[in-house]
Amino acid sequence: MKQKIFEFFKNTTVRIISLMLFMLFLLSIFLFYDVYVYQVKKCVGFYWVYRGDKYYKKNKTQHAIDCYKKALTYYPEHYRARYNLANIYVVYEDYYSALEQYSKALEIKPDFMIARIDYALVLSSAAFNHDKAISEYKKAIEKKPKWIYIPFFINNRKTYNYNSAVAYYNMGLAYRAKSLLVGENKFSAREYLRLSVEAYKKALKNLKNYEIYYNLALTHQLLKNNKDAGRNYCRAIELEPLRYEAHYNLAILLRDMKMYRDSVEEFKKAGLILDIDGDNIKTRYIYDVLSGVTQKMVLSGDYDYLADKDESGKQSSYEDDLTYNGGKLAISSKFDRSVSKSYSTCAAKEFFESEDDK
């Protein structure tokens, strides 16, 4: 009997508590209806973001756009959906839509560093708003996150250093672009170029690659800092010896410095690299310039170089390492092995580094 009474009270208590909880749930819905609606919409939004991410990874951009737009109708605060949507708009060259989405993503998450850098990049390269872009690069660098380091898993200091280097590099490009827009105001132009140099140097503290060294060299060349320009062209060439731009600009620099022998060497390298790539128009132009430099070298009295021969009596030339196959220039195995020596060591390197810090 006692057992039955206990079971009755137990079941009754459970039912009463369950009913009370259900009533509280209904009351909470009544009192916090907007909160429940928001959370449901948020879940639906995350679902569409998930779908959009899958399409984004598969490069099905139109499907991704549709999914992200649906997601944002349910959950407008999803900053990563806006960021990915902006990136897709950049691919479609819809830059103003991209800027709008980057801006909204940053309103939601102001410390979203990579989004701010991409936002600034589009401002500078597409909208030509260099002042706003430079301001955004500075904001990206200034907003340092709290450092988190878990061995083998996460090191956000390393990520920040890389992203800040990218920001400084693009800031340098923006300053150089501004220097071209000041017209005949040479003082302002030089000041912007100087700021560009400083930005590139800061980028090099955390990231050393061809693009930074090349653009630093180019800016020094515009400032007539010939040794600094040559030194940085050489460093760019050491990193990527088969990029013709550094060889070509170094050749122009050497020609202007009346170092014709070294200029000819770099023109040859640039021409052969373009020949390998099949760019006949640029190759023809470079060899026309090379012909002019060769004539200047002859007039300067430097005849020995033109008749430079190796021990076998044959003229030494990079062309010896190249062959034509079916009308196309092909790299021989000998050329491939000698690239690091002949192409990664720039002409006049010793001259440019003679006053370098040691």
Give Cα separations from 167 to 39, 79, 139, 301, 304 (angstroms). 37, 20, 10, 48, 48
Query: Running DSSP on this structure, what letter comes out for residue 321?
Result: G
Which DSSP string do the residues of 165-205 spell out, in sequence order? HHHHHHHHHHHHHHHTTSTT-HHHHHHHHHHHHHHHHHHHT
What is the CA angle 195-196-201, rounded to 5? 95
pTM attached to this predicted model: 0.80
> Count of CB atoms within 10 A of residue 299's CB?
9
d(CA 184, CA 326): 51
Assign residue 273 the CATH number of its domain: 1.25.40
d(CA 332, CA 191): 47
Domain-located, residue 264: yes
Q: Decide: 192 and 176 in contact? Cβ < 8 Å.
A: yes
User: How many structural domains is the chain composed of?
Assistant: 1
Domain-located, residue 267: yes
Q: Decide: 272 and 319 in contact? Cβ < 8 Å.
A: yes
Domain-located, residue 50: no
d(CA 146, CA 143): 10
Full domain range(s) for residue 358: 225-306+316-358
Domain-located, residue 357: yes
d(CA 201, CA 346): 21
pLDDT tens, per residue, the chain with 358 residues:
656 666 656 666 766 777 677 676 666 666 565 666 778 889 999 999 999 999 999 999 999 999 999 999 999 999 999 999 999 999 999 999 999 999 999 999 999 999 999 999 999 999 999 999 999 999 999 988 776 666 656 777 888 999 999 999 999 999 999 999 987 788 999 999 999 999 999 999 999 999 999 999 999 999 999 999 999 999 999 999 989 899 999 999 999 998 988 898 898 888 888 877 666 677 777 767 777 777 766 666 665 555 554 444 444 445 555 555 555 555 555 555 555 567 888 888 889 887 554 4
Domain-located, residue 287: yes
Alpha helices, DSSP H, located in the chain: 2-31, 33-57, 61-74, 79-91, 95-108, 113-125, 130-142, 156-179, 186-204, 210-222, 226-239, 244-256, 260-277, 280-299, 333-342, 349-352
Domain-located, residue 280: yes
Domain-located, residue 340: yes
Domain-located, residue 6: no
> Count of CB atoms within 10 A of residue 53's CB?
17
Give Cα separations from 334 to 237, 270, 321, 329 (angstroms). 20, 19, 6, 14
